[in-house]
Amino acid sequence: MTPAGTALPGPDGLLRCPWGLATEDYTAYHDTEWGRPVHGDDALFERLCLEAFQSGLSWLTILRRREGFRAAFAGFRIAEVARFTEADRERLLADPGIIRNRAKIDAVIANARIAAEWGPGELDALVWSHAPDPAGRPVPRTTAEVPAITPESTALSKALKKRGFRFTGPTTAYALMQACGLVDDHLADCCARTRRPAP
């Protein structure tokens, strides 16, 4: 009997984190994106926005609307989103391709205006400065060993909020860290960890 929360075999026989087998969308995201390093201000801004939209919802809901989000928010290019007007805001509130949450839409625009004032690479540097030392993190063997927040995600949340960012709580910050490879929370036996090429 397989212990609860451990890596499970998929249709191809490869072991994966259990959530990565829930749907084909999750499998593709798990295998090719989640936990792999993401750099670049716009790329990290996109992930931060999507994680904020996910708050209170299933990640699958966001994943299946990701192209809609990208189209609606100018590819999450910070400089362009920062120039959004009231007309853009009303357009977003009427867009069925995204999650039409007024507070979250306002947060994306407000956060873009803040980030647009920073120098190139500043958002990237801020986010990655909170990556923990991998040597100090035990590799999780079960999903029960994967935290929801950490001291580093709490510190990242505080750093973003201090600069005026919204919808960047410690849980959202940790989800960002997981998604963008600041931490590797693939389970010990997961193929995404065991088959990953050496850097």
Residue 198 has a pLDDT of 43
Alpha-helical segments (H) within the chain: 24-32, 41-54, 59-63, 66-72, 78-81, 86-93, 102-115, 122-128, 151-162, 170-179, 191-194
* Residue 197 structure tokens: 């090429």
Q: Per-residue pLDDT averaged across 161-167, rounded?
A: 97
Write the pLDDT tens digit of every residue in 107-147. Answer: 999 999 999 999 999 999 999 999 999 888 899 999 999 99
pLDDT of residue 195: 66
pLDDT level of residue 3 (50, 70, 90 thresholds): low
Question: Does the pTM exceed 0.75?
Answer: yes
User: Which entry of 26, 34, 46, 59 is annotated as an active-site residue?
Assistant: 59
Residue 26 known to be catalytic: no
Catalytic residue (choose from 29, 34, 128, 174): 29
- Asked if the model's pLDDT at residue 25 lies above 90, the reply is yes
Query: pLDDT at position 1, please?
Result: 45
Q: Is the pLDDT of residue 90 over 70?
A: yes
d(CA 49, CA 81): 11
Is 59 tagged catalytic?
yes
For residue 127 the two structure tokens come to 């986010």
Taking residues 56-67, report their average pLDDT. 95
More confident residue, 196 or 64: 64
Of all residues in the chain, the percent with pLDDT exceeding 70 is 95
- Position 196 scores a pLDDT of 57
Q: What is the pLDDT of residues 189-199, one digit of tens each?
A: 999 986 654 44
Q: How many angstroms separate the Cα of 67 from the Cα of each of 61, 70, 102, 177?
A: 12, 5, 19, 21
pLDDT of residue 84: 98
Q: Which of 26, 34, 46, 51 is catalytic?
A: 51
Q: How confident is the model at residue 170, as a pLDDT?
A: 97
